[in-house]
Amino acid sequence: MENLDVMVLRTLRDWRSAGRRALLATVVRTWGSSPRPVGSIMALCEDGSVVGSVSGGCIEDDLIYQYTQAYKPPTAQPSDQPSEQPSSSTETAVRAIPSGAPKFLKYGVTADEAHRFGLPCGGTLELLLEFDPSAEQLAELVDWLEAGQLVQRTVQLADGQASLLTASTPAELTLSSVALVNTFGPEYRMLLIGAGQLTEYLATMALFSGFAVTVCDPREEYRSAWSVAGAKVVSEMPDDVVTSFRPDRRSCVIALTHDPKLDDLALLEALNTDAFYIGAIGSRRNNEARHQRMVEHFDLSEETLARLRGPIGIYIGSKTPSEIAVSVMAEVLAVKNGVVLPRDMEVAQAKNERAVVHNDPGELVCGVRT
């Protein structure tokens, strides 16, 4: 599955290019708990079609009701009975996507509204609605994003005019009295070394989490059995692939072959990049041996090696490839989202503590037991 923001903007571009009226909603403020973070976007077409999300669904339904014809009109009343419902012509006049300057809309101000719109207890969010964004500029924005550019989009609150600039670093949404500035980045990418069964599970999870996945394995016998659609598979040597992949701050590199001839050189290349997550599968003993090789043969510093994660994943007692993939994907997402994992969830720490509790001489490693 592709990056959600790109999907929203591409769909909105297509609607506007076809001459259809549409709006873009952006979460600009939240108070307390909220279902979606600041910067989240959704697009709404005049026919009621929605792409993206700003809540669990109730706010989207309210926007559809307010701004489109995608609702069931009231049942016609007999002529001799009064009706409290407005006429269909009134409904049509009121419920259409307007023109003009952007509009702020706040949900969840009262407890009743929070309950009505499915917001968490105490949750409030504010949206900025842009009406009929420029099709030409949306096309330019999507082109830049598809080319891997980081793009800053500024919207003037007075008239809705927007401008685009390439950006060098990701940034949080900012809102002033005159403008909204939201930075859109290219999709997150994951490079997996090795095309085994664990890689298939992890690639599947990464794809539906919005990552673009590349799998590298020079071994024909592994590539020939690959069965996950949507992942790019390459056959060059892993270190060359890392170099051409050019990992950035939206990239992660994970070695899964258990073969030092394939994993080590790829990891060395990755450690010279800005990848936000670099890790390798293997036991604590194997991880310690990998560190020793890299210090002895490649003179890596402990500071550099600190970026190399291993054993990878959070500790959930996983044994099967599918469960290990869940563990690894959870850790990748935690690092991506800036979450510091508790020590008892880190694999090496948790296993060592468990070994001490159970007095298992075969568990504790890292220079103590093996």
Q: Say if domain 189-358 classifies as CATH 2.30.30.40.
A: no
Which residue type does 152 have?
Answer: Q
Separation CA 234–CA 228 (nearest Å): 13
In the Cβ-directed half-sphere of 249, how many Cα atoms lie within 13 Å?
9
**Each residue's pLDDT expressed in tens, for the chain with a length of 370 residues:** 557 888 899 999 999 999 999 999 999 998 766 667 899 999 999 999 999 988 867 888 889 988 986 555 555 444 444 444 444 444 444 468 999 999 999 987 666 666 666 665 557 889 999 999 999 999 999 999 887 788 999 999 999 999 999 988 778 899 999 999 999 987 789 999 999 999 999 999 999 888 989 999 999 999 998 989 989 999 999 999 999 999 988 899 999 998 999 999 999 999 999 999 999 998 888 888 988 888 888 878 888 888 999 889 998 888 899 999 999 999 999 999 888 887 656 666 666 665 665 555 444 333 333 3
| CATH 3.40.50.720-classified regions of the chain | 189-358
- pTM for the full predicted model: 0.67
Q: Where are the beta strands (DSSP E) in 71-157?
A: 103-107, 124-131, 151-156
